[in-house]
Amino acid sequence: MTLPSEEELALAARDTWPLRELLALADWFTAERKLTGTGVPRPDDIRALVSDLDLWPGATKEQAAERAEKLKRLRAARELPEFLALWRTAVALGLIEVDSGRARACPEVRDGTSPRRTLDLWVALFERAITGDPDPEDLFDVGRFGSGLIRDLLDDLYAEPDDTEVSLSTLASTIIEELARPGAQLSGASPELIDHSRRMAHMTLYQTALGIGSNGGIRLVDHTGGEARAEFAPERGLLPIYSLTLDESVSGPRDSEIVCAAVLTPLGRYGVRRMFLAEGVDAPLLGGLARAGAVELLDALRRLPREVRVAEIKAWAALRTAQEAVTEIAEACAEPTGDGAVRRIIASEVLRALGGPALPPVRVLLASDRPAVAGLAASTLIGAPDLPPEEVEEVIGSHGLWFTIDSAAGLLHTGESALAGALRSEDAGEGLPFTRLLFQSSGEVWRGDHPQTLSVLDAVGRLHPDRKVAKAARRAAYKARSRA
């Protein structure tokens, strides 16, 4: 996956709820303020800062009027739990320092929080929005059921390509189907109970996703049709998943389901990735190998899809000259056997991806006195685009036997199934040219100086789908064994 820069993410984080309000609240205490005996701001200060900072700007008219009346009559912070939750969170996050009955903003608020500190604060709030708060007067209350569902949603979103929409209805159905499997919580439940559970899961998913949305981690996309949408009142903050008639005994439940999907925002991707890393789950970033050593690069590329490798190779090569890149890659896979053979398979792909500027230093490697390095250069050159046919034939003639055995050895090192797949490809006209080696090289394959010639020939004799080729490989293996 990809992520914007920390600076860009921090800018977005500063504009999310409740971090925006928390930073503004802390900054209001730049001048030291006296607190009440219970360690909270005095009513006059609460009235002033709520007005100065325009806290809760998204409140409806009814909510704003009710809050204004509360503020007018306020005698203690506990009478305004929304403010008390913000205050306690600001103190808990270290944005406000409380000492000897007085409060002041911490130095980082006065100086401006760094991008990394801003993101640390946002992630702390993001995680609390997912798991809920133990304090009933705190900012988030998603409940145990909602917490589990929202984590399922976040895991699904993270597993998809960037900007993918995940249907809340589909996810709710999948979750309930899992719970209804034999031996699970809803195993044997009636269809009515299962349907009711699906509805509740859908509604809870929506409500908790709405909370994560205000935190900036998820963007909700409403695809509800016009007729169903007319029954809801989004301008008053009401967008229920289902609308039921008041008297179900008369007409039964009326299913007026909205069609809503969730998209993980860049901030959400950042937050989920931080959670995964904290749990010990590997969560690599695209381009994250740019500063890796060549060994780390080659080993990591083996685990990545081919389309992702291209971007990683470009990011890595951008920090090196062609000569430096070729030298690093050659040294990283110079070990004749084992992991060296596996790395050379990927190394050829890396060197070809470097393009034309890499060809001259690769040609120089053909003369290396280390067969593994010369073989790497040969396999790179014959696969390079626009290489003259006569040069391709020359390279195959001088190094083809060695690098073909080497490629098979690398596949064999990862498991016989990998080599078997390559041999099936050859049988279909692609892949490793063992047929050519066994039947068009004067029968001298068994004389090859690759240290794993015998093990490769034995494997080809067992695994090649063409009986004629397999028999020739076994005959060559016999000769190689006799020679040894």
pLDDT digits (tens, 9 = 90+) for 263-317: 999 999 999 999 999 988 877 777 778 888 999 999 988 888 777 888 889 989 9
**Confidence check: pLDDT of 461 > 50:** yes
Which are the contacts of 78, defined by CB distance < 8 A and separation ≥ 6?
84
Domain shared by 426 and 338, yes or no:
yes
Domain end call among 270, 304, 338: 270
Over residues 337-379, the pLDDT tens digits come to 888 999 999 999 999 999 889 999 999 999 999 999 999 999 8
Lowest-confidence segment of 9-23, 96-110, 203-217 by average pLDDT: 203-217
Based on the structure, what is the number of domains in the chain?
A: 3
Q: What was the pLDDT predicted at 228?
A: 56
Please provide the DSSP assignment of 92-105 as one string.
HTTSEEEETTEEEE
Mark whether 358 and 432 lie in a shared domain.
yes
Same domain for 257 and 368: no
Query: What span, in angstroms and rounded, lies between the C-alpha atoms of 84 and 451?
Result: 73
The predicted-structure confidence for 247-261, as pLDDT tens digits, reads as follows 333 333 334 466 788
Same domain, 380 and 266: no
Query: Which tens digit of pLDDT belongs to each residue from 360-371?
Result: 999 999 999 999
User: How far is the C-alpha of 79 from the C-alpha of 374, rounded, in Å?
Assistant: 79
In a domain, 262, yes or no: yes
Q: Among 32-36, 256-260, 415-419, 444-448, whose mean pLDDT is lowest?
A: 256-260
pTM, rounded to two decimals: 0.65
Shared-domain flag, residues 425 and 310: yes
Q: Over the chain, what is the mean pLDDT? A: 82
Lowest-confidence segment of 29-33, 61-65, 238-242 by average pLDDT: 238-242
Q: In whole angstroms, what separates CA 382 from the centre of its chain?
A: 36
Residues 265 and 304 in one domain: no
pLDDT beyond 60 at 246: no
The verdict on 306 and 255 lying in the same domain is: no
Residue 119 lies in a domain: no
pLDDT band at residue 105 under the 50/70/90 scheme = very high
End position of a domain, from candidates 270, 304, 327 = 270
Domain-embedded: residue 283: no
Check whether residue 329 and residue 427 sit in a common domain: yes
Mark out the alpha helices in 75-190 (DSSP H runs). Answer: 81-92, 107-111, 115-131, 143-159, 168-179
* Helix, coil or strand: residue 184: coil
For position 239, what pLDDT does the model report? 43
Indicate the pLDDT class of residue 429, thresholds 50, 70 and 90.
low
Assigned token pair, 304: 């990545």
Task: Indicate whether 322 and 456 sit together in one domain.
Answer: yes
Specify if 173 maps to a domain. yes
Tally of residues, the chain: 484
Check whether residue 57 and residue 172 sit in a common domain.
Answer: no
Domain that holds residue 166: 143-270
In a domain, 282, yes or no: no
**How many CA atoms lie less than 13 Å away from 58 in the CB half-sphere?**
10
Tokens at 110, concatenated: 């006065």
> Tokens standing for 288?
């994250």
Of the candidates 69, 95, 111, which is a domain's last residue? 111
Same domain, 186 and 313: no
Determine, yes or no, domain membership for 288: no
Judge whether 349 lies within some domain.
yes
Q: Are residues 307 and 453 in the same domain?
A: yes
Per the domain annotation, does 138 fall within a domain? no
